[in-house]
Structure formats: structure tokens, C-alpha cells
Amino acid sequence: MPAAERHRPEDVHSGLPGLRALPALLRGVSRGRHQRQGLLGRQEAVVVTTLVTGASGFLGGALVGELLRRREKVRVLARDRAKARDRCGESVEVVEGDITDIHAVRQAVGGATTVYHLAGRLYHPSVPVELYRHAHVDGTLTLVEACRDQTELRRIVHVSTTGVHGVTGGRPASEESPLAPSNPYEATKLAGELLARKFCRAEGMPLTVVRPGLVYGPGDLHLLGFFASIERGLFRVIGGGRAWLHPVYIDDMTAALLLAAERAEAIGRVYNVAGERPVSVRELATAVARSLGKELPAGSIPLWLANLASDVFTVVPGLKGKRAPLTRSRVEFLTSSRIYDIRRAKSELGYAPRTELEEGIRMTTEWYSRHGFLRGSQRSMAATAQ
């Protein structure tokens, strides 16, 4: 039995506030009232419609763009119709509603042959666990329940996170590695994944789970602060910068999602997806500095000093939350190794990451500059205006 199945929900959630009720929720998931038969054997012609939840986000928006380039009919579920139109374009059908609104979700999945479930909430230490649970657990349950009776459905691609493994250390985590989420975001993403797997297994539904690593590229604002701090000369590596991260460029990640929806052997499987190789924090920061025409300062800050500084910043007026130059969560990100074994995705999906780190960072920096997110680009635009 895979390690992911051996871990009881109680083990995963017991240490995180507000998540202790999730095991009961998982036990209450569908008992398999009927089995779907012949999902891949139906030959009648159908209108191919692809549903994407979370299309207003970075990865979801990139996926929609690629689906449109492939001339697929795309439908999105979004809370804000105008924002979805702005992000995805006028050719996309928009169903307005929250991921927990069963009526909106049923309308969205109606007639869809493929469903990509990316709706969620990004990690920030100030977000209450209830909001994560609403998006990642309640939303997932609503979606799979709505999909249950869709006879046209060929695949559900549930997008989880490699964060379900928590901190991996120096050994790459495979899909069978222990599940040890370290914060409410990761714990609720894991709860949503386990719920989807149990529900779809009981109902005979064609589910594939994809766990993305650290996704970056044009359109991403999650790592903008990292780039900006290096541009301004404020960034220093912590503890020697020896921790390992496993970034994956947006185009490679999108390709993996498409493969997960297409390959018959992917049904019922889970895939960790990241770039070709992990990189140290120092190597990543050096690549960003080089793309900005900067030199990364030598040396590093001791871990104890970084933790002390982050604690001070949390109590200084005007420097709390997003404005603080250093927080405990950022220190943890920069000093904890999270790396993954992607051999299953390569062998079963044919996944082949193509974007080298230097090239991906260069294209990301160029996008930030074109859109005025970096100080250098702002000075350049001001000079042009004069």
C-alpha cells in the first residue's frame, strides 16, 4: 500500500488548529453508491469542453492560455466575471460563482469532458485556517460531488502541492514519501487531495492528482518580492544559502497538467512535478541577480540573527505582514530544503522539463520589467515619458 494511503488523516491534521474535524469529513465521503462504467470506451461524438477552476490565478491563467492556443473550448468558474474576462480573454465562457456554490459548480461542470481543479488560496501566515479549509476542502468536495453524474467526463486533474511532503531535507520526496505538511495551507491542500482521491475511487471517477513544486515565470507575483529585494541590494542569503529548492518554469508546469489529462495510464495516479534539477537558494539568488545586472553580496546572515530580526519586524509599527522585510515564514522558506523526485512524471506522463533556470529567470525578469514591477523599469519608463 502506498505511503500516501497509509497516513491516516488524523496524523496529518491533529497538530494544526481548526483541522481536527477533517478526518470525520473524509470518513463521510461517498460510499460508492454506483460505479461509472466505460468512461474511456464511449465513442459517440461530443463537444469537447474543458473546465478550469482557479483560472484567475497564475498557473490557472497560464493553463487557460495554452488550452486556447490548442483551440479548445474553455469554460472557467470564477467569483469575479470581469477579472476572469480580463485574465482569460473574451473567448472563454465564464460561470460566475464560488467553488463552494453547488449550483454554480454544477453549471460549470455540465457537459465538460476535462476538469482542471486549481481553485485555492495562496499561503500567507496571516490567513485564517478556516479560509484555507473553505477553498481547499469544502471547494474540492463540492466539485467532485458535482462531477459525479457527468457522463461526458473523461478526466479530473486535481492540482495539489508538493508542500504536502513538508520539509524534505536533502533527499528528494517521491509520491510515496511521508506526508508532513508544515502549515495550514499545506495541511488543507493535503486534506483536499485525500478527499478527492477517496471520493473518486469510491465512485469510479477518472482522477489524476498533480503536485506542483515552486512554480515561477512571467505572470507570477508570488516571488516578486524576492526579485525586488535582490534588485534593491537588500537581499542576503541566510545560513550560507545551502538550502535546496525545486523551481519549475510555468511552461513546463502547464505541459505537465496537459499530459496528466491526456494519458490513460494517469488515472488514479499521483505525480510530483518540478524542474529538471533542484537548486540551492544561493544559486537561485545569483541567477536572479545576474538577470538584473547585479552582484549578489558575499557572505550570509546567521540563522539565529535572521530569526531575531524577523521577530523584531513583527512588532515594529508599519512593518507587519507583507511590508516586513523579513518574517519567520520567509526565513523558513530560505533555509529549509524542499526537493522532489520527478521520475514517475517522466516515465508515465512523458514529462520533460525544457527550461533551464537561467533562461526561465531571464524571461521572468523581463516580464517584471515590462510591467513596471521593478525599480529599474520604473526609472526607464519615467525617462521615456520625459
Work out the pLDDT band at 250, boundaries 50, 70, 90: very high
Q: Is the confidence at residue 385, as pLDDT, over 50?
A: no
What average pLDDT score do residues 109-124 get?
A: 95
> What's the pTM?
0.86
Q: Is the confidence at residue 378, as pLDDT, over 80?
A: no
Element (H, E) at 284: helix 281-291
Work out the pLDDT band at 375, boundaries 50, 70, 90: confident
User: If you search the block for the grid coordinates 521593478, which residue do you land on?
Assistant: 374
Higher-confidence residue: 66 or 44? Answer: 66
Q: In terms of C-beta distances under 8 Å and separation of at least 24 residues, what long-range contacts does 163-167 make, across chains too? A: 163/123, 163/189, 163/338, 164/189, 164/190, 164/193, 164/211, 165/338, 165/340, 166/338, 167/336, 167/337, 167/338
User: If you search the block for the grid coordinates 541577480, which residue do you land on?
Assistant: 289
Are the CB atoms for 155 and 258 separated by under 8 Å?
no
| Confidence (pLDDT) at 263 | 98
Work out the pLDDT band at 67, boundaries 50, 70, 90: very high
Residue 134 DSSP label:
I
What average pLDDT score do residues 11-26 get?
A: 52
Strand partners, 94: 76
Spatial neighbors of 198 by CB under 8 A, at least 6 apart, are 26, 29
Q: Is the confidence at residue 11, as pLDDT, over 90?
A: no
What is the Cα–Cα distance from 5 to 25, expressed in whole angstroms? 16
What average pLDDT score do residues 96-118 get?
A: 97
| Confidence (pLDDT) at 27 | 57
Q: Is the confidence at residue 76, as pLDDT, over 90?
A: yes
Higher-confidence residue: 344 or 39? Answer: 344
Task: List, for residues 280-312, the tens digit of each pLDDT value.
Answer: 999 999 999 999 999 999 889 999 998 898 888
Q: Is the confidence at residue 41, as pLDDT, over 70?
A: no
| Confidence (pLDDT) at 247 | 99
Q: Is the confidence at residue 89, as pLDDT, over 50?
A: yes
Work out the pLDDT band at 322, boundaries 50, 70, 90: low
Proportion of the chain above pLDDT 70, given as a percent: 83
Query: Which of helix, strand or coil describes residue 273?
Result: strand
Work out the pLDDT band at 22, boundaries 50, 70, 90: low
The CATH number of domain 8-31+45-212, selected from 3.40.50.150, 3.40.50.720, 3.40.1280.10, 3.40.250.10: 3.40.50.720
What average pLDDT score do residues 125-138 get?
A: 94
Work out the pLDDT band at 274, boundaries 50, 70, 90: very high
User: If you search the block for the grid coordinates 520533460, which residue do you land on?
Assistant: 352
Task: List, for residues 144-186, the tens digit of each pLDDT value.
Answer: 999 998 999 999 999 999 999 999 999 999 999 999 999 999 9
Side-chain half-sphere CA neighbours of 57 within 13 A: 19
Residue 247 main-chain phi, psi, to 5 deg: -70, 150
Average pLDDT, the chain: 87
What is the Cα–Cα distance from 371 to 386, expressed in whole angstroms? 18
Q: Is the Cα torsion angle 292, 296, 297, 301 positive or negative in sign?
A: positive
